[in-house]
Amino acid sequence: MSGLQAKRLVFRVAGRTLVERVGFVCERGQFVALLGANGAGKSTLIRMLAGLARPAEGQVLLDGRPLQAIDRRELARRRAYIPQNARVEWPIAVERLVALGLMPHLPVFHDLNAAMWRKVEAALAQCDLAHKRGQPADTLSGGELARAMLARALVGDPDILIADEPLAGLDPRHAIEGMARLAALAHAGRLVVASVHDLTLAARYATHVAILREGRLTAFGPTAETLTPANIRMAFDVRASIHGTGADACVDFRALA
């Protein structure tokens, strides 16, 4: 198959099962929003899908091949990953941080050429960071760093982008722009899988949603069919209503009476 497949994934730590037999298939051209309450297992599942955590049972397939069978450099070229709550501990310039996304494409001991630097400049502009060129990345705000990590992921033009809460810390404008950018990648034929907390933005931009509760997949499918009040209630223990569709969708919710 073409795309990413999770096959009965199980992850355990310290005797606890964090992900329990999760399976689904994602194809190129899809933007899959992974939804669930805090502690539902989203980050653990994201790390398994990215090949950064080994499942206790099951496997992840990329184009029909187990991730463990794919050369690490090849995987890094094809799959970009954005971690949750990224941090930078040294004063690397913002453009250099973004350029790290091109390292898997370089021959050993080679620096970026002019064409690659043009890609870096384009990624900075895409993520509204061109004016931050030359600034130490450890002086960026949380939202600015989140955009820099997105730029780092985009600069290598990956087939698959896997992101753990890429909107965390973003103000409303940049959150909307970030989701639109992820949706555009999917529209261009890439596969995007991202954990998202903003249900309205998921409803507006994601083509599919996968919903977790206590480590189990409770729903997966096209957004309009799957992001329903019943599924939201099951995942978050809130009463929800959905108004509008597509770009006009809005998800409202309140505590259960």
Query: In the predicted model, is pLDDT for residue 218 greater than 90?
Result: yes
Cα Rg of the chain, angstroms: 18
What is the per-residue pLDDT across 139-190, written as a single tens digit (0 to 9) for each?
A: 999 889 988 998 999 888 899 999 999 888 889 998 999 899 899 999 999 9
Average pLDDT over residues 24-38: 96
Query: Using CA atoms, how far apart are residues 216 and 56, in angstroms rounded to an integer?
Result: 15
List all residues 6 or more positions away from 227 whose beta carbon is below 8 Å from its beta carbon: 35, 199, 202, 203, 209, 242, 251
Query: What percent of the chain lies above the pLDDT cut of 70?
Result: 97
Structural domain boundaries, residue 218: 4-255
Are the C-beta atoms of 31 and 209 separated by less than 8 Å?
A: no
Element (H, E) at 209: strand 208-213
At what angle are helices 142-154 and 114-126 packed, to 10 degrees? 140
Query: What percent of the chain lies above the pLDDT cut of 90?
Result: 70
Are the C-beta atoms of 230 and 205 separated by less than 8 Å?
A: no
Average pLDDT over residues 191-212: 96
pLDDT at 109 (0 to 100): 52
pLDDT at 8 (0 to 100): 96
Identify the CATH number of the domain in which residue 155 sits: 3.40.50.300
72 three-class SS: helix
Overall residue count recorded for the chain in this entry: 257
What is the per-residue pLDDT across 72-123, written as a single tens digit (0 to 9) for each?
A: 888 988 999 998 878 888 899 999 999 988 887 776 556 778 888 999 999 9
Q: What is the DSSP string of 127-191?
A: TT-GGGTTSBGGGS-HHHHHHHHHHHHHTT--SEEEEESTTTT--HHHHHHHHHHHHHHHHTT-E
Domain total of the chain: 1
pLDDT at 77 (0 to 100): 86
